[in-house]
């Protein structure tokens, strides 16, 4: 399951990408603009900085800015940075297979669904979200 923290990370990156390149935005502005708890913005920014996607500076002219081209940051990357591997079911990642693994009729379905989900998450970029290019199908 994708956590709320991962959703917030995507929203924060989208907020940063919606401003002109190099624009510094405070964590308070992000929290206010996107209705995210301020303490979570700070925690998530630390992870985004660690990934190299953002950087920040303190002081009166400080803030957070996007360091990376938002067209190369996809949703899967962000989710995995925050949550770890994305999976629709634990059985696909389990070190110890369940008793049904060798003859489970669901395993093939889960595997196909997993691949479809990952394909979608890899295709959607932060830039597309920031520019509102995605429409509900």
Is residue 10 in a domain? Answer: yes
Q: Cα–Cα distance between 79 and 33 in angstroms, integer? A: 21
Is residue 115 in a domain? Answer: no
CATH number, position 35: 1.10.10.10
State which residues form the domain around 78.
Answer: 4-85+125-130
Q: Cα–Cα distance between 27 and 7 in angstroms, integer? A: 16
Is residue 27 in a domain? Answer: yes
The number of domains in the chain is 1
Residue 36: which of 8, 4, 3 has the closest Cα? 8
Is residue 90 in a domain? Answer: no
Is residue 135 in a domain? Answer: no
Residue 76: which of 17, 132, 10 has the closest Cα? 10
Q: pLDDT 10s per residue in the chain (137 long)?
A: 789 999 999 999 999 999 999 999 999 999 999 999 999 999 999 999 999 999 998 888 889 999 999 999 999 999 999 999 988 876 666 655 566 556 677 777 888 999 999 999 999 999 999 998 665 55
């Amino acid at each position: 399951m994708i956590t709320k923290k991962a959703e917030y990370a995507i929203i924060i990156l989208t907020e940063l990408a919606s401003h002109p390149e190099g624009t510094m935005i405070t964590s308070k502005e992000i929290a206010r603009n996107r209705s995210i708890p301020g303490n979570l913005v700070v925690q998530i920014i630390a992870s985004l900085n660690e990934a190299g996607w953002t950087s920040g500076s303190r002081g009166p002219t400080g803030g957070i800015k996007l360091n990376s081209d938002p067209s190369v940051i996809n949703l899967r990357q962000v989710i995995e940075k925050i949550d770890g591997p994305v999976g629709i079911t634990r059985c696909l990642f389990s070190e110890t297979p369940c008793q049904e693994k060798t003859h489970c009729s669901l395993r093939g379905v889960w595997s196909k669904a997993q691949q479809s989900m990952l394909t979608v998450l890899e295709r959607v970029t932060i830039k597309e979200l920031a520019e509102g290019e995605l429409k509900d199908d």
